[in-house]
Amino acid sequence: MTNRRTFIRNSALATAGVSVAASVPFAMNSCMGANEKLVCALIGAKGIGFADLKAFLGQKNTECAAICDVDENVLNKRIADVEKIQGTKPKGFKDFRKLLEEPGIDVIMIGTPDHWHLLPFVNAAQKGKYIYCEKPLSNSIEEINIMERAANRYGTIAQIGQWQRSGKHWQDAIEFVHSGKLGKIRTVRTWSYQGWMKSIPVKPDEPVPAGVDYDFWLGPAKQRPFNPNRFHFNFRWFWDYAGGMMTDWGVHIIDFALFGMKVKAPESVMAMGGKFAYPNDAAETPDTLQALYDFEDFTMLWDHGIGIDGGYYGRSHGVGFVGNNGTLVVDRAGWEVIPEGGKNPRMDRVKLTKGDGQDLNNHMKNFIECIKDNNRNTNTSIEIAANTARVCHLGNMAYKTGRRLYWDADDSKFINDDDANQLLVPTYRAPWELPKI
C-alpha cells in the first residue's frame, strides 16, 4: 500500500485542471487490518443511495461518518436513520466538496442523479478514496471517458452499482451461456417493461422548497425554474439529468447481454420509439423504445415500455440468449433454458433456478473484499461500467438522431457523423467545468 499511496500522491500533485478540487492530500488510509473499521460517507441520500449505504453498513466493521444532500429535509432524515442503525450520528453536509475535506473517510458512496456522478467521482479519486458509485456511470459518453481515465490515473478501487454482476443465479446463467450448449447465438433480446411506472402529469413550476439548494442540485445542468417533476425520483425522465429507461434499467440488462456474448462495442445502432403511451405528459424520454445493435455476427435488441408489463417469455424484464439449440432466459427472479425443436428437443430443458435476492449485499461484500485485497477488479469495475453505459447511451443517441449510427470504439466517436458527435460531450453551466483528465 505504501507504493500505491506514493503513486496516487505523486500523480495527483502532477495533475491539474479539475476546477472543483480544492487540494490533493495524501491519499489512502493505511491498509485495513482484520478488525479495522472501513469508514464511508454518502453523497446523495434520498433513494438508491441510502439503499447502498444500508447494504454497506450491513457488512462487518463498517461505519458511516458523513452524509451529504442538497435537500436539508432528506439530509436530516438520513442522519437520524443512520444513527438508529449504527448508534452514532454522522456529520451532515450540503456541499460534497466540504465532505471530501473530512479526515478519516475511506469510502465515498455516490447516489446522486446521473448528471452529478462525474464531479464527486473525480474529486474522490484525486483524494485517493475508494468509490462506490451508482449506475449508470454518468450522463454522457465524454463524462464516462473522463471518469474511466481518472480512476485509472489515480488507481481507484471502484464498484459501480450494477449489482446483478454479484448475483449467484446471474453468474450461473452466464456460465451456461459460455458453455456453448445453446449452440450458435444469433440474437440477444434485452427488455424492461415496467407497469408500475406511470405517466408523469404536467405540473406548473413552483418556488424552491424550503431547505433545498436547488442551484447546487442543478449543478452543471441548464438553469431552469424549479419543477417538482424534475426533482428526486422523476429526474430519470429528463435529458438534462438522465437517459430514461435505457440508462436506468438498460445498464443492468444490457450489461448481461454484453457479458454473456463477451463483447464490448457494437458496429452500429439504430432506434425507434417515442412517447406513444403518454404523449402529453411531462416526461421527455420515450416511454416506448426499440434499439437494434449490430455486433457483426449477432444482433442485440433493447425493448422497453413504461406502464405495461408485457415483456418476453412472460417476464417484465430480462435477457434472452437465442441459440440454435435453445434460448436461455434470465431475470431477477431466476434463469431457465427453453429448448428448440418442439417434440424433438435439440437440448435438455433447464428448469427455473431461482435467485436468492442477495445481489446487492453480495455486491457490497465483493467491494469490501477487493478493498482489503487492494484489488481493482471488482465485480463491476470502472471498465465494465463505462463500457455498458456507453452502449446504452449509443441507443439513446440513435433515437435522438433518427438514423443508423456507426461507432468507432477505438476513437470513441461516430464515423462520418458530425451531428451525432455533438451529442457526445455535454455543455456545463458555469462555474462548473468538465475536468481535464
Task: Say if residue 296 is exposed, middle or buried (CB neighbours under 10 Å; 0-12, 13-18, 19+).
Answer: exposed
The reply to whether 217 and 349 lie within a common domain is yes
The reply to whether 229 and 349 lie within a common domain is yes
The reply to whether 345 and 373 lie within a common domain is no
Q: Is 115 among the domain residues?
A: yes
pLDDT at 281: 97
The reply to whether 238 and 258 lie within a common domain is yes
Q: Is 72 among the domain residues?
A: yes
Task: Express each pLDDT in 392-430 by its tens digit.
Answer: 999 999 999 999 999 999 999 999 999 999 999 999 999
Is 97 or 19 the better-scoring residue by pLDDT?
97
The reply to whether 131 and 152 lie within a common domain is yes
Q: Is 268 among the domain residues?
A: yes
Length reported for the chain? 437
Task: Express each pLDDT in 227-260 by its tens digit.
Answer: 999 999 999 999 999 999 999 999 999 999 999 9
CA pair distance 243, 250, nearest whole angstrom: 10
Q: Is 93 among the domain residues?
A: yes
Give, in degrees to the nearest 5, the angle at Cα 214 between 210 and 215: 140
Judge whether residue 30 has pLDDT over 70: no
Compute the chain's Rg from CA coordinates.
22
Torsion over CA: 234, 239, 241, 244 (sign): positive
What does the DSSP assignment read for 370-383? HHHHT----TT-HH
Retrieve residue 130's grid coordinates: 475508494
Retrieve residue 117's grid coordinates: 456522478
Q: What CATH number does the domain containing 332 carry?
A: 3.30.360.10
- Residue 339 Cα distances to 217, 219, 325, 334, angstroms: 50, 51, 6, 17
Q: What CATH number does the domain containing 81 carry?
A: 3.40.50.720
Residue 36 binned pLDDT confidence (cut-offs 50, 70, 90): confident
Identify the three-state secondary structure at position 224.
Answer: coil
Task: Express each pLDDT in 122-151 by its tens digit.
Answer: 999 999 999 999 999 999 999 999 999 999
Domain containing 58 equals 2-164+362-386
The reply to whether 347 and 366 lie within a common domain is no
Q: Is 406 among the domain residues?
A: no
The reply to whether 253 and 315 lie within a common domain is yes
The reply to whether 51 and 158 lie within a common domain is yes
Q: Is 420 among the domain residues?
A: no
Residue 24 binned pLDDT confidence (cut-offs 50, 70, 90): very low
Task: Express each pLDDT in 161-192 by its tens digit.
Answer: 999 999 999 999 999 999 999 999 999 999 99
Q: Please state the domain count of the chain.
A: 2
The reply to whether 199 and 271 lie within a common domain is yes
The reply to whether 381 and 394 lie within a common domain is no
Mean local confidence (pLDDT), 208-232:
97
The reply to whether 159 and 235 lie within a common domain is no
Residue 307 exposure: Cα atoms within 13 Å on the Cβ side: 13
The reply to whether 140 and 240 lie within a common domain is no
Q: Is 9 among the domain residues?
A: yes
Q: Is 413 among the domain residues?
A: no
